[in-house]
Each structure stands twice: as structure tokens, then as C-alpha cells.
Amino acid sequence: MRKKIIAIGATIMLIGLLLAGCGGGGETGSQASTDGTYKIKLGSPLADSHPGHDGFLKFKELVEKESNGKIKVEYFPNAVLGGDRELTEAVQMGTVTMMLSSTSPVANFDKSFYLFDLPFLFPDRETAYKVLDGPVGQKLLDNLSSQGIKGLGYWENGFRNITNSKRPIKKLEDLEGLKLRTMENKLHIAAWKQLGANPTPMAFGELFTALQQGTVDGQENPLALIVSNKFYEVQDYLTLSGHVYTPFVIMMNKDFFDSLPQDLQQVVLDAVKQAGEYQRNLIKEQESDNLKVIKNAGVEVYELPKEEKDRMRKQLKPVYDMAGDMIGDPQLVDQLVAEVEKYSK
Ligand code: KDG
């Protein structure tokens, strides 16, 4: 009997050790270890061929150097720890310390994030940067704290473009009935319905297979993701529509961030900012090469004319009207629109 109890005890201890080693539930908040160092378990849903990966390598290098080795970053790219939703939940629980997500699925955690899902909002990426790095962007980051998340900053996902394997999309009517994968976001779904498409929300991790098997006709994403996840290999047409600008938001477990001494908090914030500038530049630099990769693979490429963008914007009026209610803060929408106007002059 005694032997049996000892064996059970040893098994429980072993499971505990394994869980701790895997960054399991016991690691919530991951405060300082006994030697005063901190470990950031960093998960990225991006492929290691995406500039977001270079951004995280830069973040790791900066944080480890500037903290004089007091912070160590253990980095897991290629969605090995999960996609946007799983990683956001893991960061809330503290089983993952830090991650990146498109802002659109984050609206399921804090509805103010629907703000960036308004189609044709930003005229160019410079305006987007100014708004994101200004008071409106900061307000949204602060809103995450009620979810147990510290919002650290924004990097670039980018302007989204439509790909599909049915037909060229040159005008609004061409979208009619197109089975289009969207992010899991009510505003995106409403917008695509309003434009006549048949939106199918789906996790990003399932998308390549869905396109390959024809479960959906198409999808929409920035060029960097179309290339790094090889969607161009299973799609025939690309329309440069730039219909919405999606940022990436960098998030950290709030208890972990709060447990850092102030100087190390600043090291983390500065590294996110610096690595973000680096990542934004890489995306810009690689844009024309990405387009070449897509064209060379035999994909037909179209530029959506301005008149068609204007027609789509007009068609989307009911969606803009309902956005205020979805976001639950009409003043914030007004502030955003005013900032966009101010910066885009
Ligand atoms: O790994 C990519 C994901 O982070 C995802 O957010 C990208 O924009 C995206 C999408 O379409 O899901």
C-alpha cells in the first residue's frame, strides 16, 4: 500500500514538473525566478518567412541585450503554440507570455477593436501608423487590460487584397456569390455580405487546405501573408483592392508585465517599438518582390480602379452605420475619423 502511495506521489510530481517545463498552467504570470531573471514565452502565428518573424527575432535580440540578460525570450514561430485565438486565450491565462495577432479577431475579446475593421478607412499606411501610434491606438491597447492583457503596440499586417480561383474581380458585381474566407469578425462578415459575396469565417490555420480543396473560392489578405503562407500556389486571381488595413497587435500577459520592475517594463516597450519599426520597413521593402512571386506563379493580377473602390465604399454605408453600435463608443469612431482626416491631409 505504502509503495503504491509513493508511486502515485512520484507520478503527480513528474506530471507537475512536465507541465512546468512545457509552460503549462502553473506558470501563470511567470514572475521572476529565484535568480531575478524573467522568461518570456513568445508565440507567433506567423510563418518564419514572414517579416513578423524577423521582427520577433529583433525583439528577442533587443530585449535580451538591453535587459543585460535579465529577460530571456523563448520564441515559438509557425503557429506551433496556436493561431490568433488560441494564443490570445493563452496570453490571458498566462500559459504563453506574449504574442501577436491581427486586430480583427481581438474584437471578439474587446469590441473597441472593431474600429480598425472599417473598410476603406486609412488612405495609406503612413496615416494608419500615425493613428495607431497616437491616442486612439493607445486607448485600444489600454482597453485590453480588463481582459488580463497588456497591449504593447502595433506592427504591420497590411492592406488586404482579394485572391480567388473562380474569376477575376474587376468590379463590385464580380463579388456576387463568391465564397470568400473571412477572419472571425462580425464586421468583416457584414461587409462582405453587403458587397454580395458569401463570407465564410474560418481560422487562418485552416485556410490553405480550404483553398486547395475548394471549400472556399477565395480569401483576402496582405501580400506578405499571401506569399509567406503560399496561398498564391492554390489561387488563380489576385485583385489589389486594399479594402481594409489590418494592424497586428502585440500583447502580453498583464500580470507578467506588471511583475516586471519599471526599467524592464520600459525595455520591453522600447523593444516592441523598435522591432516594430524594423518590421514595418521590411514589409514595405518586400512588397514589390512579393508581387513578382505571385505573378511568376501564374496568378493574374488586377488593380481595383478608384471608381470601383468608391462604389464599394458607397455600398458599405449600412455597415459604417452599424459600426458605432458594434464598437459601443460612437465618440471613439468620431475621434478616429477626425484623426484620419487630420493626418491624411
Ligand atoms: O498568422 C497569421 C494570423 O496572425 C492572422 O491574423 C492573419 O490576417 C490574418 C488572417 O487573415 O487571419
Residues 38-50: tens digit of each pLDDT: 999 999 999 999 9
Tell me how far apart the alpha carbons of residues 256 and 29 are, in angstroms, rounded to a whole number.
4
Mean pLDDT, to the nearest integer, of 82-108? 98
C-alpha to C-alpha distance for 298 and 147, rounded to whole angstroms: 45
Residue linked to cell 487590460: 145
Cβ of 246 below 6 Å from ligand 1: yes
Give the residue whose CA is nearest to atom 3 of ligand 1. 45
Exposure class string for 95-131: b at 16+ Cβ within 10 A, else e? bbbbbbbbbbbbbbbbbbbbbbbbbbbbeebebbbbb
How far apart are the C-alpha atoms of 69 and 20, rounded to whole Å?
A: 22
- Is the CB of residue 204 below 6 angstroms from any atom belonging to ligand 1? yes
How many Å lie between the centroid of ligand 1 and the Cα of residue 182?
10
Written as nine digits, the cell of 285 is: 521593402
CA of 102 to the centre of ligand 1 (A): 6
Which atom of ligand 1 is found nearest the CA of 220?
Answer: 11
Q: What percent of the chain has pLDDT over 90?
A: 85
121 DSSP assignment: -
Q: With bands split at pLDDT 50, 70 and 90, how would you rate the model's confidence at 267?
A: very high
Q: Taking the C-alpha atoms of 136, 137, 139 and 144 in order, what is their torsion angle to the nearest 10 degrees? A: 150
- Given this model, what pLDDT does residue 31 score? 62
pLDDT at 36: 86
Ligand 1 site, residue 90, Cβ cutoff 6 A = no
pLDDT confidence tier of residue 1, bands split at 50, 70 and 90? very low
Q: What is the pTM of this model?
A: 0.91
pLDDT digits (tens, 9 = 90+) for 282-325: 999 999 999 999 999 999 999 999 999 999 999 999 999 898 88
| Ligand 1 probe mutation, 42, 99, 183, 192, most atoms within 8 A of CB | 183
Q: Is any atom of ligand 1 closer than 6 Å to the C-beta of 225?
A: yes
Q: In degrees to the nearest 10, what's the CA dihedral of 300, 306, 308, 311? A: 160
Q: For the sheet with 237-240, list strands across it.
A: 198-201, 179-182, 218-221, 161-164, 237-240, 300-303
What does the DSSP 8-state code read for residue 95? Answer: S
What pLDDT, on a 0 to 100 scale, did the predictor assign at position 11? 45
CA distances from 142 to 78, 139, 151, 275, 338 (A): 28, 5, 6, 21, 20
Instruction: Please tell me if the CB atom of residue 161 comes closer than 6 angstroms to any atom of ligand 1.
Output: no
Provide the 8-state DSSP code for 28: T
C-alpha cell of residue 249: 497587435
- Residue that is written with C-alpha cell 490571458 in the block: 92
Q: Using CA atoms, how far apart are residues 233 and 226, in angstroms rounded to an integer?
A: 9
DSSP conformation letters of 166-203: S----SGGGGTT-EEEE-S-HHHHHHHHHTT-EEEE--
| Residue ID of nearest Cα to ligand 1 atom 6 | 102
Contact assessment for residue 251 and residue 154, using Cβ atoms and an 8 Å cutoff: no
What spacing in Å lies between the alpha carbon of 9 and ligand 1's midpoint? 43
DSSP class per residue in 295-320: HHTT-EEEEPPHHHHHHHHHHTHHHH
> What is the Å distance from ligand 1's center to 129 Cα?
19
Rounded to the nearest angstrom, the distance between the alpha carbon of 325 and the centre of ligand 1 is 25
228 contact partners, CB below 8 Å, separation of at least 6: 46, 47, 49, 50
pLDDT tens digits along 221-235: 999 999 999 999 999
More confident residue, 321 or 155: 155
- Burial category of 268 from C-beta neighbours within 10 Å (exposed 0-12, middle 13-18, buried 19 and up): buried
At residue 118, the 3 state secondary structure works out as: coil
CB 79 within 8 A of CB 56: no
The span from the CA of 334 to the CA of 247, in Å, is: 20
Round the average pLDDT of the chain to a whole number and report it.
Answer: 92
pLDDT tier at 30 (50, 70, 90 boundaries)? low
164-221 per-position pLDDT tens digit? 999 999 999 999 999 999 999 999 999 999 999 999 999 999 999 999 999 999 999 9
> If pLDDT is split at 50, 70 and 90, which confidence band does 331 have?
confident
Compute the average pLDDT of residues 18-41. Answer: 62
